[in-house]
Structure 1
């Protein structure tokens, strides 16, 4: 009896200790403080509601459609294309990288560690990928999203072909063969708890989001809708925080691991919560910088626009999709120019850089450096020559 009581106490202390070191919890905690602080309450609630109805709901809808369609496409092995033609292999790697999310890029990185794909295909896929930021861009500005995807494929293929001339296919390939770059885990209790909430809330939220998008006057329902949106945003952020230990840089900036057994709804929720967290952080930082410090980021980047592509490329070199979502959010808000968005899209490697660094660090670092070169060329080419 005493041993059982001691075991329960030990587990409780361990769980409490994990919560205290979870860096993800800082975001919902600080937002709750902002809501409680009367001078920031109205700004915080409005920002949370805007993030939920203008971004989260559309991202969830886009993700649901995307995963429904992608589930019907077979996973392609690059080894066959590699044997047929390096051009076909590099082109397919770029297409896989350009798919929204990081799944296609992780496939290519994994196959590279098995000797089934060339180093040139790794450069092509990391150059072409935009990661989870693509979902955000497609949900908010689909035309620009498709342009960026097409640009990523073109630049990815060109970069891969050039690297193929410089390096042998097995260049930087690790001796240790790995079967899996990402290991699946059981869905977290937090995600299971959130599933029925999303089942009931998604369709009504989509209807409200569409009404807001078409500038419909909600009349007496404006304030209740705003409060509901803010509450759902806090709910999403809390579930996101509790879905991971949130201790390492990767656990904060990358999307959560795949679920076993795989669940499309759980994947949609995971990714929606992840995008929501970084979008809310971006929205709040921008609003607070304007309200408290009078800092107009749009005016700053307009005055010093020449530095925007360079800054975007520097952020793109950071692993994980979180920092890249910040760049895309700033573009959607009209703060960053299209040249900076394009530069970041080419430079960033998304979550695929984490397994690449773990399994083939030499290839990951060099491929990242290689992707920065076309990113600068694209960014400043658009800055100086685009109309």
Structure 2
């Protein structure tokens, strides 16, 4: 039994790092660079294109990760975008779970993206017709602090970190905010009252901002092996040292250490960190390494949960456990869609990544994955919660409704046509 458990752990480590993780890292680097180059331009476009704001918001939400979606949230409270744009952005976003799905099942990723993009746009325009956004914004403005109080509070906070980051990392245009201004209420909430970037004086900062070089080296070494696995090559048979297990274990261990050092477990990207990534290419490389480590850690957790769940269901007999699980999935059926939508209500990306990881193991139907993708808001919901909880609750409720409706429709067609 101990040998069986050890093999499950090693296989899960290899799968999480080499079958998924190295591709997630490659995709994250690509989109991270695009985000570094274009995020500011996208935000300026959405502010000046009022007629098409829900469309642009849905597009920003559709890009893997949470960076684009995070920047849209403060714009609503500045009166620059509509609440329909906020909901369209949140409906379209899959957060970091998108990287896992794109790396492991591109066809399903593009299918979900296409459907959720349309659903997001329709919902966004419908929300704007209701006048809900005006009501939320008016109540928010009534609670805002006056400028004298804001200036006083702003002076009480330490601003050394921003200056240090730009001096150390080389911000291309100095430290500039995206979606709000220095010293406004949103600045106080998102950059000072919320947990933002780690202080450069901490061990975690020094470790992550040095070790990211090693982490990307591991990714470069692992990527050819991951490609070999795609072509069904047994890399453990190529040598006598079980290369896949060794590199998978090293990669998972390093991923977990990086995640612990960054102190990110459920949610991992703050508005402040998203801004720094846009301003500094080195910060993009550092935080993309942390993002990759975060994703891989949760994929590993998902794979382990699946493997041990199967083993437990079969009381130590893996084949029996698989048969029992298949029976359970047939029995739950439509309930899985509701479960997917419910899990999507949890802020942050961790549980959503596990959900996608379980889908890659055949444990979850496509309709449930779609419901989760539409319902979840990733890290983008966190700034909304910090600024105005009422708007966050409304956005969450609204995004859950199409998640359930379209999830059930997709489930109906999935059962009717593909079973």
- Structure 2 length normalisation: TM-score? 0.77
Distance in 1 (CA, whole Å) between partners of 2:217 and 2:54 is 43
SS at match of 2:37: coil
Distance in 2 (CA, whole Å) between partners of 1:308 and 1:346 is 14
2:88 pairs with 1:124: yes
Equivalent residue for 2:247? 228
- Structure 1 length normalisation: TM-score? 0.83
Q: CA RMSD in A?
A: 2.3
Distance in 2 (CA, whole Å) between partners of 1:305 and 1:266 is 42
Structure 1: runs of 5+ lacking an equivalent: 1-33, 245-250
Equivalent residue for 1:172? 136
Deviations 1:291-317 (Å, cap 9, x if unpaired)? 233254444223321111000000001
Q: Are residues 359 and 309 of structure 1, via their aligned partners in 2, closer, same or farther at CA, if it must alter by over 3 Å?
A: same
Aligned residues of 2:216 and 2:289 also touching (Cα < 8 A): no
Equivalent residue for 1:29? none
Aligned residues of 1:117 and 1:169 also touching (Cα < 8 A): no
Equivalent residue for 1:312? 340
* Cα deviation, residue 238, structure 1: 1.6
Match of 2:302 among 276, 282, 299: 282
Q: Are residues 275 and 80 of structure 1, via their aligned partners in 2, closer, same or farther at CA, if it must alter by over 3 Å?
A: closer
Deviations 1:204-242 (Å, cap 9, x if unpaired)? 210111111111243342613312211221121122112
Q: Are residues 83 and 206 of structure 1, via their aligned partners in 2, closer, same or farther at CA, if it must alter by over 3 Å?
A: closer
Equivalent residue for 2:311? 291
* Cα deviation, residue 45, structure 1: 1.6
Number of residue-to-residue matches in the alignment: 345
Structure 2: runs of 5+ lacking an equivalent: 145-184, 315-320
Query: Which structure 2 residues correspond to residues 65-80 of structure 1 after superposition, within 5 A?
Result: 65-76=30-41
Aligned residues of 2:269 and 2:379 also touching (Cα < 8 A): no
Q: Are residues 118 and 181 of structure 1, via their aligned partners in 2, closer, same or farther at CA, if it must alter by over 3 Å?
A: farther
Tell me whether 77-86 or 288-297 shows the greater mean CA deviation. 77-86
Q: Are residues 235 and 80 of structure 1, via their aligned partners in 2, closer, same or farther at CA, if it must alter by over 3 Å?
A: closer
Q: Are residues 81 and 106 of structure 1, via their aligned partners in 2, closer, same or farther at CA, if it must alter by over 3 Å?
A: closer
* Cα deviation, residue 200, structure 1: 2.5
Q: Are residues 230 and 298 of structure 1, via their aligned partners in 2, closer, same or farther at CA, if it must alter by over 3 Å?
A: farther
Distance in 2 (CA, whole Å) between partners of 1:298 and 1:206 is 33
* Cα deviation, residue 169, structure 1: 4.1
